[in-house]
Amino acid sequence: MKFLPCALVLALGLLAAIPAQAEYGDVVLDRSSTRQGMRAVVFPHWFHRIRFRCKVCHSELGFKMRAGANYVQMNDIINGKFCGMCHNGQIAWSPDRCDLCHSAKKGVKPGIYGSSETTGPSRW
């Protein structure tokens, strides 16, 4: 009888360990950064995902759920839209810290890289 509860706990633990797709990784965004003389943006999706539910960014902040569907400009962020809702100098660093987001290595193509490791496309 003790075997059944242990087996159930083990099975649930294994199910919880199955990795979810498109949750972790670094996302490199470069619609216009390099054309404007800046490094591409590295968005640490994994870092945000372990702290917030999907709905925080994808519903409350207005990010569409499809890669490439969002056109975010610095004016939007400075004016408190998209990333600027949190990156306002009070909740998280302010938009004047360019190097913290525009941190991709030169030549890195836009896309999703890595996992929750820190060996992603950023120059850090």
Question: Is 53 among the domain residues?
Answer: yes
Residue 11 has pLDDT above 70, yes or no: no
Instruction: Give a yes or no: residue 3 inside a domain.
Output: no
**CATH number for position 70:** 3.90.10.10
As for how many domains the chain has, the answer is: 1
* Residues 27, 121: Cα–Cα separation, whole Å: 9
Q: Is 49 inside a domain boundary?
A: yes
Q: Assign 51 to helix, strand or coil.
A: coil
Domain span at 75: 21-113
**Does residue 99 surpass a pLDDT of 90?**
yes
What is the pLDDT at residue 86? 95
Task: Identify the pLDDT of residue 114.
Answer: 74
pLDDT digits (tens, 9 = 90+) for 33-64: 999 999 999 999 888 988 999 899 998 998 98
Provide CB contacts within 8 A for 42, sequence distance 6+. 26, 27, 28, 29, 101, 103, 104, 120, 121, 122
Residue 81 phi/psi, 5° resolution? Answer: -100, 160
Would residue 40 count as lying in a domain?
A: yes
> Does residue 11 belong to any structural domain of this protein?
no
